[in-house]
Amino acid sequence: MKTIIVISWRNVWRNKPRSLTILLAIAVGLWGGIFATSISAGMMKQRFTSSIETQVSHLQVHNPKFLKDDNIRYGILRADQIERVLAQDSSVKAFSSRTMVNGMIATATLTKGVRILGINPVQEAATTRLSTTVISGTYLTAGGRNPVLIGKKLADKLRLKPGSRIILTFTDVEGEIVSASFRVQGIIRTTHSMLDETQVYVRQRDLQTLTGDESIINEIAVLMHNIDQVNPAVEALRKQFPESEIRFWGQISPDLLYMNEMAGATMMVLLVIIMLALAFGLLNTMMMTVFERTRELGMLMDVGMNKVKVFSMILLETTFLTITGALAGGILSGITIYITSHTGIDFSGVGGNTLSDYGISAVVYPELFPGFAENIVLLVLLTSVLSALYPAMKALKLRPSEAIR
């Protein structure tokens, strides 16, 4: 077998320009596919992380009625007990209880519908990135009367800046309309521009006081140390608090779950298409090789090289070509991904700012989907075998006496 390997390897380099051309095609094709995939994976991860860390968290607790009728009066039952359980659970990294109500924000000249989130600033800062998204003014603090954080988009529309006064109007737990004056303490910009336009954050204590129920909590968002701990935590909470709706991130935001499951598969399809195109190039090269070497292959069979060995030789030649090209493409991809995963790729110059509408930053950090490398190896091997089959079969069909004529 060693000799067959040696012959196959040397045969690859018999026609250097031709071999180098196909090697380059494989390398560049694979590099393009892998790099595009890694950019997509980087975007998906950013979207996922951003969604988890700015809004969804790993799991959320609600009163089931609140999910059907978005009314502040449907607070979580035994919320204090749930908070105690979460505080004692070592797998929980942080949690944030929120009081939520839909209402209107008004300035002297403009009015707009918003969702008002009453948060505990300390809990929220530990659970989400909210405190890090302040671009002007400051994050919510314990001091001061009725501070509010608003998104940059909303601030621009309402022409607000830190220190500006606004009126928030909403209904309390009894259904009565309540209005209160708030002062803009900070302006935030998250990677979710839609949220930046539709959500405002106030202190939970202030909102609870205004709604007439000083203990009402509508949502508890929980961040785990590790995503693998989510399912056990959901199960445990469901057992302990059956009256509450406990949902993991995939149930809260099905598009995240779908995106996670589909993104890898979609990119794999892209790579399969690329490899399929390359397979035709390889097939063409190997067919030329077989036709050019008809006499030589015939001679090999004449002198006693059996069909298995002839087949193996063609298969090995194709595999060497593919693997060498794939290795070059892999190394190129590895270097490119390694560098860009540190520096990031700035898409802001090509309309990348619109990415933030989808929760993705304009600077993308490429990375590979888990298990992607293994799939690439399998795909490369499959491509080489598929490309080799037809030429190898052709070689086997040569009749020795005719081949050497």
Partner 1 sequence: MKVIRTHDLSKTYNHLVVPVKALVNVNLEISEGEFTAIVGPSGSGKTTLLNMLGGLDQPTSGKIFIDDTEITGMKESRLIDFRLRNIGFVFQSYNLIPVLTAIENVSFIMLLQNYPKDKMEKRARELLEQVGLADKADVRPQKLSGGQQQRVAVARALASNPRFVLADEPTANLDTQSAFNLLDIMLRLNREENITLLFSTHDQRVIDRARRVITLVDGSIVEDQHFEK
Residues that bind partner 1 (CB under 8 A): 3, 6-7, 10-11, 14, 295-296, 299-307, 309, 399-401, 404
CB nearer to partner 1: give 261 or 296.
296
* Residue 283 C-beta: closest distance to partner 1, Å: 22
Separation CA 196–CA 193 (nearest Å) = 5
Helix axes 307-343, 372-396, angle to 10 degrees: 150
CB nearer to partner 1: give 204 or 289.
289
Separation CA 318–CA 328 (nearest Å) = 15
* Residue 278 C-beta: closest distance to partner 1, Å: 25
How far are the Cα atoms of 79, 190, 209, 260, 342 from residue 53, in angstroms, in the given order?
Answer: 22, 11, 28, 16, 21
CB nearer to partner 1: give 68 or 307.
307
How far are the Cα atoms of 61, 214, 311, 317, 392 from residue 289, in angstroms, in the given order?
Answer: 66, 82, 13, 10, 10
* Residue 303 C-beta: closest distance to partner 1, Å: 6
Candidates 254, 208, 230, 226; CA nearest to 51 is 254
Separation CA 246–CA 319 (nearest Å) = 52
CB nearer to partner 1: give 149 or 310.
310
CB nearer to partner 1: give 161 or 307.
307
* Residue 393 C-beta: closest distance to partner 1, Å: 15
* Residue 351 C-beta: closest distance to partner 1, Å: 53
* Residue 254 C-beta: closest distance to partner 1, Å: 58
> Mind giving me the DSSP string for 80-94?
HHHHHHHHH-TTEEE
Q: What letter would DSSP give residue 110? A: -
Residue 354, token pair as written in the block: 């619109």
CB nearer to partner 1: give 158 or 321.
321
